[in-house]
Structure 1
Amino acid sequence: MTEVSRVVDVPPDAVFAVLADGWLYAGWVVGSSHIRDVDENWPAVGARVHHSVGPWPLHIQDVTVVRAMEPGLSLSLEARGRPLGAAAVALTLVPHGDGKTLVRMTEHIIRGPGKVLPAALQALFVKPRNTESLARLADLATGKHANAKTGHPEP
């Protein structure tokens, strides 16, 4: 299992607000290129984000499914990209000082060709991608939080 973490300068509820908006999924998940639909009950267990993975015109259309969720605390997903496989992804939000959040993201491949690769080799691909995903998540959460505090509408 590969883990990355990042401290974000907003409280956990501000980070979770981004995770809870399935339409923002492609904005922070590296590799996800287009959101086609989001189940109305996202991020409830079993809800799905219908997304495309990869660059156009080579899109793979699939879904990410919520496997577990604790509002404001954690979100566990099964990210699919058939025929490449699927990964279990978990995001945990921990209060970190005054108004900050430690975000931990873990991922491990659960199906597909990558599952046979040793964990160290998987990490060579997963860790940089997830580090960038957390940077994007931090930017979205910070921007949404700042807009909410100033009363500016979201873009």
Structure 2
Amino acid sequence: MAEVTRRMDARPEDVDRALADGWVFGLWVVGAVHIREVSPDWPHPGAYIRHSVGAWPTMIEDRTEVERYEPRRVLQLLAHAWPLGAARVRLELEPDRDGTLVRMHEDAVSGPGQWVPAPLRTPLLQWRNTESLARLAAIARGRPEKPDPG
């Protein structure tokens, strides 16, 4: 299993707000390039995002589903990218002074991706998820709750 940790200069509620906006999923998840649909109940269990992965003209259209959600604490996803298989991704948020410590765990759970030996797939997942968390941090920093102007 690949694990990456990043301290973000954003409060847990700001990180959670970024995670809860399914339309920005493609901005922080490396590889997700086009969001086609976000179910209205995102990010609650059973909710999904239909997305494309890869680069044109070889994009794969698939989906990511929420398995577990605890606001400001945990978001666990099952990410499909057929024919590559599926991966389980868990993001854990922990308050850290005036910011948030985010741990991202990922591993293949089905399909050909699972057949790649862990010593080969883990460094690739860590590299990709390091960039994903850097992107998420930038989005979360820019998404504090805005005061009501009215």
For Structure 1 versus Structure 2, the TM-score category normalised by the shorter chain is over 0.9
CA RMSD of aligned residues (A): 1.4
CA distance in structure 1 between the aligned counterparts of 2:47 and 2:78, rounded to whole angstroms: 11
CA distance in structure 2 between the aligned counterparts of 1:37 and 1:114, rounded to whole angstroms: 25
Provide Cα deviations, 1:48-84, integer angstroms capped at 9, x if missing partner. 0000000112110000000011011110000110011
TM-score by length of 2: 0.95
CA distance in structure 2 between the aligned counterparts of 1:51 and 1:137, rounded to whole angstroms: 17
Q: Which runs of 5+ in 2 are unaligned?
A: none
CA distance in structure 2 between the aligned counterparts of 1:138 and 1:108, rounded to whole angstroms: 22
CA distance in structure 2 between the aligned counterparts of 1:74 and 1:40, rounded to whole angstroms: 19
TM-score by length of 1: 0.92
Counterpart amino acid of residue 126 in structure 2? K
Partner of 2:138: 139
CA distance in structure 1 between the aligned counterparts of 2:126 and 2:10, rounded to whole angstroms: 23
Partner of 1:71: 71
CA distance in structure 1 between the aligned counterparts of 2:30 and 2:148, rounded to whole angstroms: 29
Instruction: Determine what percentage of the aligned residue pairs are the same residue.
Output: 49
CA distance in structure 2 between the aligned counterparts of 1:50 and 1:116, rounded to whole angstroms: 25
Query: Which structure shows the higher helix fraction?
Result: 1
2:78 aligns to what SS in structure 1? strand
Partner of 1:105: 104
Partner of 1:14: 14
Counting matched residue pairs gives: 149
CA distance in structure 2 between the aligned counterparts of 1:72 and 1:150, rounded to whole angstroms: 20
CA distance in structure 2 between the aligned counterparts of 1:23 and 1:123, rounded to whole angstroms: 27
Residue 130 of structure 1 deviates from its aligned partner by 0.3
